[in-house]
Structure 1
Amino acid sequence: MNGKDHRAPDELRRTLGLNDAVMVGLGSMIGAGIFTALAPAARAAGSGLLLGVAIAAVVAFCNATSSARLAARYPSSGGTYVYGRERLGEFWGYLAGWCFVVGKTASCAAMALTVGVYLWPEHAHAVAVAAVVAVTAVNYRGVQKSALVTRVIVAIVLAVLVSVLVAAFTSANADTARLEFASDITVFGVMQAAGLLFFAFAGYARIATLGEEVRDPVRTIRRAIPLALGIALLVYAAVVIAALLVLGPEGLSQASAPLTEVVRAADAAWLRPVVRFGAVVAALGSLLALILGVSRTVLAMARDRHLPHALAAVHPRFTVPHRAEVTVGAVVAVVAATADVRAVIGFSSFGVLLYYAVANVSAWTLTASEGRPVRAIPVAGLLGCLVLAFTLPLPSVLTGATVVALGAAIYSARKRISRSSAAPR
């Protein structure tokens, strides 16, 4: 090989091992739901919040299993955009990519705004834009540096969450009666809460979208996705139980900053600055990994000219899709400067749930020799995604459906123009 790099000009370098891949997934999940989605989920489910967590986890497990098998089969950047294209056809791949890019762009904005709200509430939008610029600069320097930063962030956030758990579980104000189910539970409310909480579990997709940068992808991806999901589920379940013990469903539903309210109610108010710091770090970690994943899907779609082909360029020194990253960062900065953090959660969940619906159908088409999961898993994942998507708050469903329809219309128009150009004159 003579030490030369024989990659194609737009091909990425495989540098991530199992630990790095798990940390990228955890960086996307740990923090997103804990600091932003708990209160609206509690408002929807009431005392059925734990049921909502369980349902979201089951759907996430099905999606993760389908994604892991597909990512091992197609270890290239793009995630379900690639899987849908290869297994179902060009349109379904495009639609999955469209749902992912718009949904996760909203997620990026939510995480940036979370940084602003916790760090400097009076200037939340300006801080959010600054956070996007800083994270984009880190990603521009290379995925190995991003993975290293993510590892540090995850360690800090887990330490903060452990301190919250200790304060809540040892508090004299903790009451197990607050965990009991009450008459306020409805099936629709629990499902809506699960859909909102799915926002917190979807980070394992970052591992799949980084498939082209993972060493030994068949082995690494199939292990990293369930590992990251399992760790996140344990953390989420513990934090939700702790929050319910000291606040109860009603108190949790009214909290603008749930975990700071948890430590206050647990008579550990001295931890509030620590929790605020943890929220900022967690949101930055999620933002870091989210922009990383969205830019890789943009790269894949640009390669196929569903997006401007110039975005498919890979930096010769840093070996990252630098134009895609800068473009994604710019769009996220604009959204973060104008949007409200709660308004984008439902919209993001709608787009990402449809994205995983395509992933589950794609996994169902795998043969046994291609590593097909048990048939029941993609079927349950598909049904779960559709049910959760359409039980989200009505504004989220209407806005999400409109944006998805717009994406389909753009695809159709582009195809008509392409056929017209190719027709003999």
Structure 2
Amino acid sequence: MRVLVMLAVYGLLVFINIRGVREGAGAVTVITFAKLLPPLLFICVGIFFIHASNLAWSGWPSSKSLGDAVILLIFAFVGIEVALIPSGEVKNPARTVPRSAYLALIVTTIIYLMIQLVAQGTLGANLAKYPDAPLAESAAKFLGNLGRTILLAGASISAFGFVTSDILSSPRMIFAFGRDGALPQFFAHVHPRYRSPDVAIITYATLAFALSISGTFEKLAVLSNVAVLLMYLLCCAACWFLVQRDVRSDGEPFNFPGMKIVPALAILAIIWILAHATLREFVVTGIVLALASIMYLLRGQLRRKS
């Protein structure tokens, strides 16, 4: 049943996105609005049912427990870098984009903290007894079965929203690789009527569907986080060199006290988080990188010969 539902979801999203970016973007907008309502309701109502005694800490978690939680939690913050994509169309991007990214992170973090506060404050130690749907059980404490249903529906909408936005944006990378010669030209095919990258969309959706049925969310999320954190690590290293050399473009860059040491601190934090990944996750990531590198080199050789 799970496979059939996921097949239907991916099939629907492929159909929507092949019909054009406007339809895909419209679906993302509607779903984004819909998925925000349940958590906001959860926070606004649940905050009045918090018991202070439930917020008491029994002790600080071990480094391993904290690291194992963080390497999964990073998934909730991944994607902030997409704010860089439209930088060329933004006025004074050197200052505007960083400010927007920081603001988005602050707002998102506050929402996450408030959700945790309500869940912990209403369930207390019992929160750990509901690993599958803790927010739904928390909502049931002050909104009854209706609250549980609303939060479960919200979780489903949120997951659907993530997949929707992913199918909208990620296939464009495959299309760009095909257009630029990093992948076969076939992947740069455009639908004759809707002018959408249909082959790239179908290819990406097929790969995503295959991966989604091959493992649990936790395993796939951590695997994804390892790859993303490695990319972040390289970006932080590049940022450190750029800041030290005072490299700038498009006006005065965004700055704040301690700016020069933040990339170094971020590198240390990323290394600490990655230290909690398993050997399997590094091996899988390494294999993917190796295959991608080989494919890139082969395509380069073929292009030079032609």
TM over 0.5: yes
**Distance of aligned partners of 1:365 and 1:133 in 2 relative to their CA distance in 1, 3 Å threshold:** farther
User: For the Cα contact (< 8 Å) 1:135–1:284, is it kept in 2?
Assistant: no
Q: Work out which structure has the larger RCO, using CA pairs closer than 8 Å and 6 or more positions apart in sequence.
A: 1
Q: Unaligned 5+ residue runs, structure 1?
A: 1-122
- Determine if the alignment matches structure 1 residue 230 to structure 2 residue 106: yes
Instruction: Confirm or deny: 8 A CA contact 1:313 1:321 kept in the other structure.
Output: yes
- Where 1:202 maps in the other structure, the secondary structure is coil
SS in structure 2 at match of 1:369: coil
Change (3 A) 1:377 1:146: farther
User: What code does the residue aligned with 1:398 have?
Assistant: L
CA, structure 1 residues 322+415, in 2 after alignment: closer, same or farther (shift >3 Å)? closer
Q: Post-superposition shift, 1:346? A: 1.7
For residues 363-395 of structure 1, the C-alpha deviation after alignment (integer angstroms, 9 at most, x for no partner) is 334343234863323222222222212214xxx
Query: Deviation of residue 287 (structure 1)?
Result: 0.9
Partner of 2:42: 164
Give the 3 Å change call, closer, same or farther, for CA 272–406 of structure 1 in structure 2: same
In the TM superposition, what are the counterparts of 1:12-411 in structure 2 within 5 Å? 123-171=1-49, 174-183=50-59, 185-208=61-84, 210-211=85-86, 215-216=89-90, 219=93, 221-248=97-124, 251-252=127-128, 254-266=130-142, 268-315=144-191, 318-366=194-242, 367-370=246-249, 371=253, 374-392=259-277, 397-411=278-292
1:244 Cα offset (Å): 0.8
Give the TM-score normalised by the residue count of structure 1.
0.61
**Equivalent AA in structure 1 for residue 187 of structure 2:** L
Would you say the 8 A contact 2:182–2:300 is kept in 1?
no
**Most deviating of 236-245 and 262-271:** 262-271
C-alpha displacement of 1:355: 1.9
Deviation string for 1:23-73 (max 9, x for gaps)? xxxxxxxxxxxxxxxxxxxxxxxxxxxxxxxxxxxxxxxxxxxxxxxxxxx
Mark the CA change 1:298 to 1:230 in structure 2 (over 3 Å): closer, same or farther: farther
The CA distance in 2 between the partners of 1:270 and 1:263, in whole Å, is 9
Uncovered stretches (5+) of structure 2, i.e. residues with no partner: none
| 1:211 aligned partner, one-letter code | P
Q: How far apart are residue 304 of structure 1 and its match?
A: 4.4
| Farther off after superposition, 188-197 or 220-229 | 220-229
Cα 1:422–1:299 change in 2 (3 A) is closer
Return the letter of the residue paired with 2:286. Answer: A
User: Who is 1:37 aligned against?
Assistant: none
- Is the Cα–Cα contact under 8 Å of residues 129 and 336 in structure 1 kept in the other structure? no
Q: Deviations over 1:74-109 (max 9, x none)?
A: xxxxxxxxxxxxxxxxxxxxxxxxxxxxxxxxxxxx
For residue 242 of structure 1, report the CA deviation from its aligned partner: 0.8
Q: CA RMSD in A?
A: 3.1
Give the counterpart letter for 2:234 in structure 1: V
Report the CA distance between 1:198 and its aligned residue. 0.6
Shift of 1:420: 7.7
Aligned letter for 2:41?
S
1:200: Cα distance to partner?
0.5
The aligned amino acid for 2:272 is V
1:217 deviates by 7.1
Structure 2 CA distance for partners of 1:419 and 1:355, relative to 1, 3 Å:
closer
Whole-angstrom CA distance in 2 between matches of 1:320 and 1:388: 38
Asked whether the equivalents of residues 223 and 285 of structure 2 are also in contact (C-alpha less than 8 Å), the reply is no
Letter matched to residue 26 of structure 2: L
Corresponding position of 1:111:
none
Distance 1:354 1:233 in 2: 22
TM-score in terms of structure 2 length: 0.82
Name the structure 2 match of 1:50.
none
SS at 2:212 equivalent: helix
- Secondary structure in 2 aligned to 1:343? helix
Distance 2:11 2:90 in 1: 32
3-state DSSP class of the match of 1:262?
A: helix
Aligned length: 294
Give the Cα separation in 2 of the matches to 1:221 and 1:266: 40
Percent of counterpart pairs with the same letter?
22
Instruction: Name the amino acid aligned to 1:243.
Output: A
Paired with 1:317 and 1:362, the residues of 2 have a C-alpha distance of 42
- 1:187 is displaced (CA, Å) by 2.3
